[in-house]
């Protein structure tokens, strides 16, 4: 009894019958056939996508092309192209000019500016002289028949002398169609200083001739007498001198003339008529010195320029 109970309490393994095995094999067979059919469908789909896969075996893709394809590029060259040897070949950029070359170029630019400035000054002065002469000539043609005609004649003579001076200096330096503008301008300035000295001395000679060495005073400047005409002519002549010296005439030019004519240094040694020229040189130097013209402030300088001009005219 006890042994039977024990045997009954143990779990006995299930025994399968042949019929159950057969039925289980029938259930597994449809699963195998389903998986085989799936593989056949995949193979057919692959064959449909690449029908020539068997006839064209896959080729290996180069790393550069694979990288270009991954970046979205069409083709990536395997190596850099060879440089062209035709007209489209790249030319290297030239280096900047050296410091020495820049200094030479700048110096050449300054020389060109100086030459152009010298020619511009010569041309401007020549054109201005022609215009002044034309205007003065027109005024002289319609001159009144009185003392004003004399003043216009003097002005016309001065304008013509200025034009002749410019033409003479320019012609002196011409060599064919070439000339040195610096030489022309330098000589022109020297001749203008000489003209200013001559005009100044001549003007003060006329003024001093109306004065006495014993009493060098211009007393009756308000009365109408012949000395007023001399003073007016000296006024006009000194305007020519200032124009030649390239200095603007002051508003009180008549007062400057009288002040220079009555200076003590003018009459210190002029006690006779023979010393009037030296006294006129002293008066002219005093006049130029008062107006700040330092090139003509010395009596010796004015006398030397005046003497040279007088000798050149005499010869």
Domain assignment present for residue 83? The answer is no
DSSP 17: P
Judge whether 270 and 264 are in contact, CB under 8 Å: no
The whole-number pLDDT of residue 143 equals: 83
Domain assignment present for residue 170? The answer is yes
| Cβ-based neighbour number of residue 24 at 10 Å | 11
Q: Is 99 left (phi over 0), alpha (psi -120 to 50) or beta?
A: alpha
| Cβ-based neighbour number of residue 173 at 10 Å | 17
Domain assignment present for residue 104? The answer is no
How many domains is the chain built from? 1
Domain assignment present for residue 29? The answer is no
* pTM of this structure: 0.60
Say whether pLDDT at 94 is over 80. no
Domain coverage including residue 253 = 114-314
Q: Which residues contact 23 (CB under 8 A, 6 or more apart)?
A: none
The 10s digit of each residue's pLDDT in 153-182 is 889 999 999 999 999 999 999 888 889 999
DSSP 274: G
- Evaluated on CA atoms 172, 178, 180, 184, the torsion sign reads positive
The 10s digit of each residue's pLDDT in 275-312 is 778 888 988 999 999 998 988 888 888 988 888 876 77
């Amino acid at each position: 009894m006890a042994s039977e109970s024990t045997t009954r309490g143990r779990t006995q393994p299930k025994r399968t019958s042949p019929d159950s095995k057969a039925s289980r094999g029938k259930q597994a067979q449809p699963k195998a056939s389903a998986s085989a059919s799936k593989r056949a469908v995949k193979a057919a789909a692959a064959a449909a996508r690449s029908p020539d896969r068997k006839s064209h075996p896959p080729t290996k893709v180069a790393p550069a092309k694979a990288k270009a394809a991954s970046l979205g590029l069409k083709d990536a060259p395997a190596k850099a192209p060879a440089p062209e040897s035709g007209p489209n070949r790249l030319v290297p950029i030239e280096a900047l000019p050296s410091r020495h070359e820049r200094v030479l170029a700048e110096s050449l630019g300054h020389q060109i500016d100086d030459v152009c400035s010298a020619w511009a000054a010569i041309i401007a002065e020549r054109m201005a002289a022609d215009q002044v002469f034309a205007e003065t000539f027109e005024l002289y043609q319609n001159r009144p028949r009185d003392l004003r005609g004399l003043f216009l004649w003097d002005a016309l003579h001065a304008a013509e002398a200025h034009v002749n001076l410019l033409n003479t200096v320019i012609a002196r330096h011409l060599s064919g169609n070439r000339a040195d503008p610096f030489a022309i301008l330098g000589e022109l300035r020297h001749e203008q200083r000489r003209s200013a000295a001559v005009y100044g001395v001549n003007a003060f000679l006329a003024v001093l001739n109306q004065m006495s060495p014993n009493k060098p005073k211009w007393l009756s400047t308000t009365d109408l007498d012949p000395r007023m005409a001399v003073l007016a002519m000296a006024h006009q002549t000194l305007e020519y001198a200032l124009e030649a010296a390239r200095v603007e005439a002051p508003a009180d030019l008549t007062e400057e003339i009288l002040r220079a004519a009555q200076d003590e240094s003018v009459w210190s040694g002029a006690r006779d008529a023979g010393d009037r020229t030296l006294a006129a040189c002293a008066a002219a130097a005093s006049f130029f010195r008062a107006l700040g013209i330092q090139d003509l402030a010395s009596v010796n300088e004015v006398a030397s320029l005046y003497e040279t001009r007088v000798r050149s005219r005499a010869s």
